[in-house]
Structures are given as C-alpha cells and as structure tokens.
Structure 1
Amino acid sequence: MPSDAKILIVDDHEDTLYALESALAPLGYRLGRATSGDEALKQVLRGQVGLLLLDVRMPGVSGLDVVRYMRRVEQTQHIPVVLLTGFGPDQELTATAFALGVADLVMKPIDPWTLRTKVRYLYDTHRRRLALEEENRALRALVKDGPEAPGRPARPALPHPDPRVPVQRAQGAHTDSLEQDRT
C-alpha cells in the first residue's frame, strides 16, 4: 500500500458520503468516495486503498458482494473493511460479515468520535503490517543472496543476544584462521 493510500468511503446516498467525509476529515488522511459496489471494486483493484468503509445494502453489487470478491483476490484480501448498516442489529449479517473477515460492523447513525478511533487504528495497523511485510521481503532477499554474494562486501559477524554464545564468524574468515593455525 502506498503511503498516500486513501480511505475509500462507499455509500449510495450522497448525504451519507458527505457526513462520513466530514467525520473523518480531522484525521488528515486522504479520502475517496464511491457510490456503488462496482465503482468501489474498480478503485480497490487500482491499489490505492488502505481502508474501506462500505455500506452493506446498495443497489446492484452489495457491500457483502464487494467483500467476497476482495477476499478472493490476493492484492485486496488483507485490506481492512468496516461495514456500515442502517438496518439495526442482524445476527445473520453479523455472522456473514465476520466470516468474511470484516474488521468491524458499525450501525448508523454513526458516532464520529468512535468512527475516527476505529479508522485510525485499522488504517495505521494495516500500514504497519504492510511495512513489516516489505521489510521481511527485503530480509529474505538478503538471506537468499547470502552475505558473500558477488559485488557485496562480507558482513561483519553480529553478536548473539546471549553473551554465552560465541560470535559466529563468516565462512571465509573461519577457514582462513584454520589455514593459519596449520602453518
């Protein structure tokens, strides 16, 4: 997720979009909007979305349909989704939503302070998770290439956190010292 990824707000009612944008504006995140499930999927697949606030019941492609599709596509399956509903508590909806991996289900009318708190936590957590994944990829590449890869200087041995464990030397340094001992 790029650092400028937006929070996408999806609802088929213009007044709800405006209210949600107003509630989230103090966070300072980039916000986007969509008025249909199809439009939301297009924006999500472009890769610029870091969190999705999604109305459950919309004409055409519903919010649950959007989530079902997102969870089948590798590039979108980990984007956090907050489902919004104005139809009150519904056990079946709740069970379905959480089975799909939705981060939260929020009832309308929405308390702006509560929404900002949830959004800040989910968005920042998702960004940190992606940063860790990127760091892991970089570390795996270093390990895969090895410390003595052509064109890369040998890395110094790092001390073990437990002082009782001896420092491990690079292969070349160990064999050189053995050769010196034999002579």
Structure 2
Amino acid sequence: MPTVARPKILVVDDRDDTLFAMESALAPLGYPMDRASSGDEALKTVLRGGVALVLLDVLMPDISGLEVAQYMTRVEQTQDIPIMLITGAGQDPTLASKAFELGVADYVVKPIDPWVMRTKVRYLYEMSRRLHALRERLRAYEHRSEEFRGPASLPVEDRPLPRPA
C-alpha cells in the first residue's frame, strides 16, 4: 500500500525574513511546510491540494490575505482548510471582525510568541487532519452503502400482488 504524503502547512508572506522566522519557529513541530510569497502563489498552492493549514499575512501587495481567505472560503476544495491570518498592522478590531466574518480560524498580531504560535498551529493542523479523515471515512461509507443498496425498490402500489397458494 503506498504511503500518503502528510499534508503541509503553507506559510504566506511577501517578506522573506518573515517567512524564514515563521518556518524556524514551526520547525520543532516536524510538520511538512511550503511557502508562498504572494496571494496569487498561495491560491495556486492550495488549489493543487495537500495543504492542511494556511498561515497568511494580511498585508501583501498583489492580493491581500483577506482576499485570499475570501476566495478560499467560497471554493469547495479549499473551504475547510483552516486559515490563521497574521498581521503586523497592530490591533485593529475592524480588521479582526472582518477576518472572523470570513471564517478564518485565528487572527494573530505580530510579533508572535513562538511557543504560542506552535501551540495554535499544532491544534489547527491536527483538527484539519481529523476533519479530512472523517470526510474520507464518510465518502467510503456512502460509496459502500450505494453498492449494497442495489436498484431502487418499487413503490408499494407498483409491486405485483402475491399469488394465492
């Protein structure tokens, strides 16, 4: 049986130094990671599949993190991937409210304590994997039940009457 690749954490930021810092902080978790330096690159990566969690910078030059999150929540293939929005713009209740309205899993303001980030990432990553496994089990169950169901039974009024003995 082939081994299935573990899903990745996608770290998205337009600054290389921030990408490096986040990857370094998350390295002790041992999860596979990928990086994207733009919203467009992030969208392409999540659409290819194999992503369990997205750490997403809010302020990026081309497509903002909010726009990426909005797109991901509208597409069936990506709507269940948890998103942790990260901002360096300081506390902004309006931005936080908008993020949670979009359905992001978490909203974090830089600088981020590495221990806190690892704890949040571990939780979101494992929950994403469990949700994916449950969905796969449900699909397998539905597929098996369709195989055993056979042709649809006739309504009562269309069934032939039994012959008297």
Q: Into which bin does the TM-score normalised by the smaller protein fall?
A: 0.7 to 0.9
Q: Give the number of equivalent residue pairs.
A: 147
TM-score (norm 2): 0.86
Mapped to 2, the partners of 1:137 and 1:42 lie a distance apart of 26
Q: Which string of whole-angstrom CA distances, capped at 9 and with x for unpartnered residues, describes residues 14-69 of structure 1?
A: 11101000000000000111111011111011012110000000101000000111
Structure 1 moving runs of 4+ over 4 Å: none
Matching residue within 103, 106, 117 for 1:104: 106
Mapped to 1, the partners of 2:75 and 2:119 lie a distance apart of 28
Which SS does the other structure have where 2:56 is aligned? strand
| Aligned 1:1-183 pairs, distance under 5 A | 3-146=5-148
Which SS does the other structure have where 1:87 is aligned? coil
Mapped to 2, the partners of 1:143 and 1:43 lie a distance apart of 34
Give the structure with higher Rg (CA). Answer: 1
CA RMSD of aligned residues (A): 1.2
State the Cα distance separating 1:3 from its structure 2 match.
Answer: 4.1
Identity %: 61
Mapped to 2, the partners of 1:137 and 1:3 lie a distance apart of 20
Q: Which runs of 5+ in 2 are unaligned?
A: 151-165
Which SS does the other structure have where 2:99 is aligned? helix
TM-score (norm 1): 0.77
State the Cα distance separating 1:103 from its structure 2 match.
Answer: 0.3
State the Cα distance separating 1:92 from its structure 2 match.
Answer: 1.0
User: Does 1 or 2 have the higher relative contact order (CA < 8 Å, sep 6+)?
Assistant: 2
